[in-house]
Every structure is written in C-alpha cells, then in structure tokens.
Structure 1
Amino acid sequence: MELQKQLNGNHHDVAMPVERGIPPEEEKFLRQKDDGSKRPQFTDFEGKTSFGMSVFNLSNAIMGSGILGLSYAMSNTGIVLFLILLTCIACLSCYSIHLLLRSAGVVGIRAYEQLGLRAFGHPGKILAAVIITLHNIGAMSSYLFIVKYELPLVIQAFLGQTPSPDDWYMNGNYLIIIVTICIIFPLAMMKHLGYLGYTSGFSLSCMVFFLSAVIYKRFNIPCPLEVFGNYSMNTTTTTTITTTATTTTTDDTCVAKFFTINQETAYTIPILAFAFVCHPEVLPIYTELKNPTKRRMQFIGNVSILGMFVMYFFTAIFGYLTFYKNTEAELLHTYSKVDPMDTLILCVRLAVLVAVTLTVPVVLFPIRRALLQLLFPGKPFHWLRHVIIAACLLFCVNLLVILVPNIRDIFGIIGATTAPTLIFILPGLFYIRIVPIDQEPMNSKPKIQAACFTALGFIFMTMSLTFICLDWASGEKRSLGGH
C-alpha cells in the first residue's frame, strides 16, 4: 500500500479521485497480503490461474466469428496488403494492452471501469461500462446467430432428412434456447474466469481443426469452379453438365492477387481491427493470474495475439487460395456450395459451433463485472447477484437473436463505435490521464505516442461509420465482420 500512498499525492493533477486518502476502488482491487485481516480484493480471490490457462482464455476472447470472413477480406486486399494490415493491427493491439497494464500498474487497479473512474470520474466509469456491455452483447449475439443458422443445417445433414416446419429440433430459435440453458448458462455460473481455461482450450482446438480442414481442402478443390444450382463443380466434370452450369470462369479467376484496391478494400480494414478486440477481458484475466506482474501479463497478451495472428493469416490465405475471386463473405458457406454433404465440412461446422458456444461465457464475464461495478459498487461477492445478472444477460441476448431477423446494421454501428473505443481511444486516454505528469510530462514520447494512438482510434471510428452509411445509401449487401 506504500506505493499507492506515494502516488496518490502527485496524482491529483492528472486524474480526479473520488475522495482524499486511498481511493475506495484501490481498497477493493489491490491484492491484500499484509496480515490477512483486510477485506479481500474485488474478486474475493487470490490469483491461481496458470500462465497456460490465461493464454487460452485471452486467445478465446480474441478468436471471434470474424475468422470466417478473413479469406473474403484477403480477396479484397491481396495477400501482401492483407499481411501488412494484419501485422499492423496485431502490433497495435499489443501496444494497447501495454497502455492498459501501465495505467493499471500506476494506480493498482485491475478493472476497466475503475480506470475510467480514476481518469474521468463517474462519467468515465459509466462510459467504460456501457461500451463494454454493448460490445460484448453484440459479440454474444453474433455467436448465437451462428448457432441459430448453422446448427439446424448440421442436424439436418446428420439425420439425412429434409427439414419440416413441425420439427422443433430444426427450429433455430428453440435450439439457441436449449444450448443456452444446457451449456452456456452452467459455464457462466463459474465464480472465476480462470476456471474456463479448460473450455477455452477445447474451443481453440476446435478452431485449429477448422484451420486444418481449410488447409486440407486447398489441395482437394480444383480451380476454376462452376456453379450448378446450389452446387459448385470444377471443370473436370463432364461436358453434359457444363452445358447447364453457370460458369464464372475468367482469365484471372484462379490467379492470386498480391495487391488489390477496390471499394471493398477500405471496408475490410475495420474487420481486421475488430478481429483482435479482447481488451475488456485483459484486466479480469490479469486479476486472476498466478504471480501477476505487468511483464507476465504482457507476455500472455503477446503470445495470445501472436497465436491468433498465425491462425488468422493461415485461415485467410488457404481459404483465399482455394476459391480466389469466388471467395464469399462466409467461408463455410463457400465450402457447402462445393458439396453440401461433405462429411469433413459438416464436422468443421460442428467444431465452429462448439467453439463459438464455449466462447460466450468468457465474453459474458466482463459484462457482469461492469454491471456489478455500476449497480453494486463496493459490495462483496454474492451468488444470487452472480446468477441473476448472468440469467438476465443471456435472456436479453436470446431475445435479441430470436426477435431481430437481421441485426447486421445494428452490429455494424456497435462494432464501428465500441471496437475502436476499446482498442485505441480509452487505453490511450487512460494512459494520458492516469500516469502522473511528474513521471511522464505531456510532451514526453510515451504521452505523444498515446495521443497519436487515440487519434488513430477516432480515424478508425469515422472511417467505419462512413462505410456503413455508404452501405445504407447504396443499398449494397456488404458484410461487416467482427467478434
């Protein structure tokens, strides 16, 4: 506690603490090891999560449904430009985690909302909590939308029958309710995020299987393709079929592009940025980490982002080199047009369903924590609140997925505003406001870098909203990916 007492004196010129002396949030969030007589920290929990489990949880938080659209993004940027953009976004995400951890280390707080409180008072706390809630609700909804539309197709394929309106197990609305009650809700009841490391590891293994299938299919699907009804066929089929097929072959259909610039190119930049949003989960994972240090948590962030970078790039390039110009916004749908009854693709669909289902509880934790900070600040852990908040959140998300037939535009607005805010704007502003001026003046290199980083976030936000508005104005059917 000595460090906080020393910092508290010179902190008043850059932040707005609520009261004099030791701020109440520090009392709740700092690890207490002095004599055991003090109240536990916010989580009522001494960090016990291992390095590996923390990597699994953070990687699972990064991994989103947007991976299915990365091949499409590459087809609109080219291989080299895509790699450059992906590398830049990954590096910026690592720097953003550095800013968060540095800010948390100065004031001894490991909660996104409490950093907002220390930086801008209660408006900052409310803003951070609302942004986290909106973004993660959008993420959970996108995962359940995949379950809603993909699970009936998987069941139909495995049963080998045509769906009937009277078959309840073919109704996606019923299926998401069953999946929520039987799988997601029990996992969301875990007291600590660290316990989900095992399910996160299994979820990641499902996505590794997805990547393996993408690589395998690259060498088993010839190019060019021909569309025949709802199927795609290669040109090695008989000429009697090709007479009724709609051929999409051009001279450059099967030629890989290294640089491509079109009206979709700039639209894919936000997609890549959204693919690395994990910042609401960073500080909760840091709180539950065994032997937590800034360097150790930064290494966890770097390893997780590097792993996802490799998985994203290989998924994108092998998917793109399979279909080239025929790559669609949803990669699994493109494979289904080749052979809807392909056993491997059906297994991949099932693996993706398992992966997104097991990711929902991980994404729910930061929302619950944000709501607890807003509604019950300073209250000790209570099981009834823990259960009720999770149940209400899952009920609202299920209702949203069931009642709204197409929420692409809603997700687009939320993603275009919350993702740049969580990655760029808030970490940069927190760093500028929280790190004392006597340690780093405003004209110091770290503060200037943080200011430029924040400005970049506003640029991303403006650009994303501009493309969405152009989408609405032109009426074109574009697909904005993300978590």
Structure 2
Amino acid sequence: MELQKMNGHSRDDGFDGLDSMAERDEFLPHKSGGKKEIHFTDFEGKTSFGMSIFNLSNAIMGSGILGLAFAMSNTGIILFLILLVFIAILSSYSIHLLLKSAGVVGIRAYEQLGKRAFGHPGKMLAACIITVHNIGAMSSYLFIVKSELPLVIQTFLGKQENTGEWFLEGNYLIMIVSAAIILPLALMKQLGYLGYTSGFSLSCMVFFLISVIYKKFNILCPLGEEYHNVTEPAEDFTSSNGTDEFCEAKMFTINSQTAYTIPILAFAFVCHPEVLPIYTELRDATKKRMQTVANISILAMFVMYLLTALFGYLTFYAAVEPELLHTYSRVDPLDTLILCVRLAVLVAVTLTVPVVLFPIRRAVLQILFPEKPFHWARHISIAICLIFIVNLLVIFVPSIRDIFGLIGATSAPSLIFILPGIFYIRIIPEEQEPLLSRPKIQAACFAALGFIFMVMSLSFIIIDWVTGEARSGGGH
C-alpha cells in the first residue's frame, strides 16, 4: 500500500517529487525492525482535496469579517487593499514554513514540531498557545450566538421587545446550541468529516456577501438625521472624515482608529492550528498539495474579505459601525433580508466552533496523554469539558472581550509569525540550509515581525485601558 502511494507521488517532477519521497520516507517501515515508527498523527488521510479546502477556509473565516467595513473606513480603500494583500502573502508564507518543517521531520502536529525544535518546553508552549487562542475564538463565536440569536427569534415571533421568556434568554440558547449542534459535530473522530458542514457554513457567508453587495444598490446615502443621531458617539471617526463629505469614499485615511485596524487585518487569516491536522487527514498528502489547499483557501477568503469590506463601506461610508449587521439593523430593523443574513451568520459561526475545537483537543491530548492511542472515552470527555468551559466563560465573564483581546494580541502573532519562524530555523538541518542562508534569514525576520505585531497590539490594548476609550475592533 505504501509503495503504491510512493509510485503515485513519483509523478511529481523536479524537487517537489524529491520532497514527497523524503517526506514519505519518515512513514516507511524501518528495515531493521520491520515495524513502522509511530507518529502522533500517523494514519492514512482520507479527506478529499475539496473538503480540505472547505475546512481550512472555514477555519480562516472568523467573526472579524463583520468588522472589516469599519476597518476600511479607518484606513481608506487603497491602504486597506495594501494591508490585506500583505497579510495574505505573509500567511501563505507562514504555512509554507510549517509544512516544510513538518515534512523534514515527518511530523504533522504543531505541538510535536515544538518538541522537535525545543524539547518538552517547546511542545508545552505550542500546545498552550493553541489551546488559549482557540478557546478565545470559540468564545467569540458563542458570544455572537448569545447576542444575535435572541434578536432573531424575537423578530421571527413579531415581538417588539424582549419580554423575558426563557427562549429569548441568550445564556439558555447557547447551552441548547452547544448541546444540540456543536457537541455532536465535535464528537466526530476526524476533522475531515466536518467538510460538509464547513461547506455549508461557507455558503452561508457567501449569502451574507451577496446580500451586502445587493444592499449597496438599495440603501441611499445620506441615511437621514435619525441615523446620524444614533451614531453620533463615534466622534473621532465622524470628525476625521468631515460631515460635508459624509458620503464620499476615502482612498487613504489616517485617524485615531487606524492603528486598531492593523491587528484586526493581521489576524484575519489565523488558521495555523488547523493547518497540520487538515494536512494529516488530506488524501495523498504532500507539501505541494497541502500548500495548494492553503493558497486556494487564503485566496478565497481574501476575495470575500475585500468584497465584504468594500461594499459594506460603500453602502454606509462614514456611518459604518464596528459590527456591519448592526448598521443594517439600525437603518431598517424589520428588513427580512437582513434578518435572513443574521440567521445565516449565526449558522456559519456555530458550524465553525467544532472545527476550532479539534486543534484544542489535540493539544490537550499532547499535554496529558502524549503516548496514548485513540480512545473514544478521552475523545468525548475532552470535547464535553472544552464546550462546558467555553459556555461558562461566555455566561459568567462580562468583560471577556478585553480578556481575549489580550490573549489574541499574544497568541495570534505567536501562531502566525513567531512559532513557524523559529521552528523552521531550529528544525531544518544546517547541512541543508546554513544558519545564514536566505531562507533562514527570512524566517528570522518573519519571527521578528511577529514580535513587532505583538508589542504593537499589546500597546494599543494597554493605551485603550489606561485612557478608558471603548474598544472599536473585531476579532478573528
């Protein structure tokens, strides 16, 4: 079976073919013992190319898409486009570093790369960062469910206000959603099985995008005095654009909120904890094939991010708010299309939670049960505990946005920039690439860029806390 796979990959020509052979060598039986060396993620991948793209795209797609129009309003169209292109290219390069490091040592788990690079401390560091970051992401998704689902149900029932029934209580609703939808999907044995739900989740976000484009041609600017009074608190932003030019698109804008949009855009492509699990389960996996999955996913999300931000911004201009759906609802609270869009976004973020949970469970297994084979009891109990913890956070911690803002400012640049860069430097043998070779120098600069992003993001958050200003950004 292994030889057949080798023959199948030998069709790749040039160095890609050699890379595939070298990568597969790590999984071949050793001649001496006749037994295959066991790796944590070592099993034959069964997930198709298309399903892998759906899963990775769903991992990239975050709740932050709702804040991208606001980000564009604070940077201008040209600066936003430059930043988005720059971050997309860096994200693709980061995945290249991860895949090359994984291919050299025959390991397809982020935590095991940490162990190979820095021993047990490196493994624990990677596992903890993944756990903390993804718990933050899961919490942000469930916060959307907690805040938006009661409003959707209330509108469907024709109620003008929340009258206090249990089915309009957000805390009850997230527990029901977690138990009825998220938990059953999280109990799947392999991440690849979620390709269908990921595809449906992405189709919901495509519907959201189409609706944003459609609404551009149905909402006229200016929006009227009543709306301007509602959004009056955003003084910094309104004054920076000028009320006389309220409906004019800015190509390049710098204001007091611009600095906050840079970390939002930088973290818009965070999917790195999911890359290696998806790589593990990819059918006929090679670095070239997985890099193609990553590039297509990043390109698809780049297009969705750009179009959503552009048409959302060109609809509301200076009146756009940090949460785009909230802006539409202020214009027409009873709009049936926007109600359907809100429901689609709720479905999308709910179906994303199980995809985000898989890397956390893998990290927990690496920390607590590194040598144990798969067991259903552990698999199920860890999923239940994680969902329970995230529900508690969403229910009982009112200021969780700032807490996870702090976590995101440290974990996201670590996962995107710092860890892939330093792992690459440590893992790639010096006889293959000397320390002062161009690839390793690039990786070192990449890791340094991550430290800059981390310091910058933490500085913004601390300044925000000290000055007491309201946070204005969205998360991944």
Letter in 2 for 1:335: Y
TM-score (normalised: structure 2): 0.90
Q: Secondary structure at the match of 1:443?
A: coil
Q: Secondary structure at the match of 2:251?
A: coil
1:378 Cα deviation (Å)? Answer: 1.3
Q: Which residue of 1 aligns with 2:77?
A: 79
The answer to whether the 8 A contact 2:39-2:107 is kept is no
Alpha-carbon separation, structure 2, partners of 1:149 and 1:302: 34
Identify the match of residue 51 of structure 2 among 50, 53, 62: 53
Higher helix fraction: Structure 1 or Structure 2?
A: 2
Tell me what 2:131 maps to: 133
Match of 2:426 in 1: 433
Counterpart in the other structure of 1:277? 270
Q: How does 1:359-438 map to 2 (within 5 A)?
A: 359-438=352-431
Contact 1:232 1:338 in 2 (8 A): no
* Residue 46 of structure 1: how far off its partner (Å): 1.4
Structure 2 counterpart SS, 1:440? coil
Tell me, yes or no, if the aligned pair for 1:408 and 1:480 is still in contact at 8 Å: no
Choose 123-132 or 164-173, whichever is displaced more. 164-173
Distance in 1 of aligned mates of 2:230 and 2:118: 56
Using the size of structure 1 for normalisation, the TM-score is 0.89
How far apart are 1:456 and its partner, in Å? 0.3
Match of 1:303 in 2: 296
* Aligned with residue 103 of structure 2, among 102, 105, 116: 105
Q: Which residue of 1 aligns with 2:152?
A: 154
Question: Aligned equivalents of 1:378 and 1:193: distance in 2?
Answer: 20
| Secondary structure class of the residue paired with 2:270 | coil
How many correspondences in the alignment? 444
- In 1, Cα distance between the equivalents of 2:296 and 2:70? 26
Determine whether 1:341 maps to 2:334. Answer: yes
Deviates more, 1:36-45 or 1:281-290: 36-45
Identity over aligned pairs, percent? 75
Q: Give the C-alpha shift of residue 149 in structure 1.
A: 0.3
How far apart are residue 39 of structure 1 and its match?
7.2
Matched, 1:263 2:261: no
Q: How does 1:468-483 map to 2 (within 5 A)?
A: 468-483=461-476
- Post-superposition offset of 1:266: 1.7
Could you report, residue by residue, the CA deviation over 1:351-405 in whole angstroms, capped at 9, with x for unpaired residues? 0000000000000000000000110011100000000000000000000000012
Contact 2:41 2:107 in 1 (8 A): no
Aligned to 1:203: 201
Cα deviation digits, residues 139-163 of structure 1 (max 9, x gap): 0000000000000000000000144
Structure 1: gaps (5+ residues) = 2-25, 234-247
Deviations 1:242-286 (A, max 9, x none): xxxxxx992110000000011211211100011100000000000
Partner deviation per Cα, 1:301-323 (whole Å, 9 max, x = no partner): 00000000000000000000000
Task: Confirm whether residue 463 of structure 1 aligns to residue 456 of structure 2.
Answer: yes
Shift of 1:474: 1.3
Secondary structure in structure 1 of the residue aligned to 2:243: coil
User: Counterparts of 1:326 and 1:402 in 2: how far apart (Å)?
Assistant: 31
Contact 1:184/1:361, CA 8 A, preserved across alignment? yes
- Deviation string 1:158-184 (CA, Å, 9 cap, x unpaired) is 000144554000000000000000000
Structure 2, unaligned runs of 5 or more: 3-22, 232-240
Change over 3 Å in CA distance of 1:31–1:157 after alignment to 2: farther
Distance 2:309 2:127 in 1: 33
Match of 1:354 among 341, 347, 357: 347
Cα root mean square deviation, aligned: 2.2
Residue 451 of structure 1 aligns to which amino acid in structure 2?
A
SS at match of 1:225: coil
Instruction: Specify the alignment match of 1:16 in structure 2.
Output: none
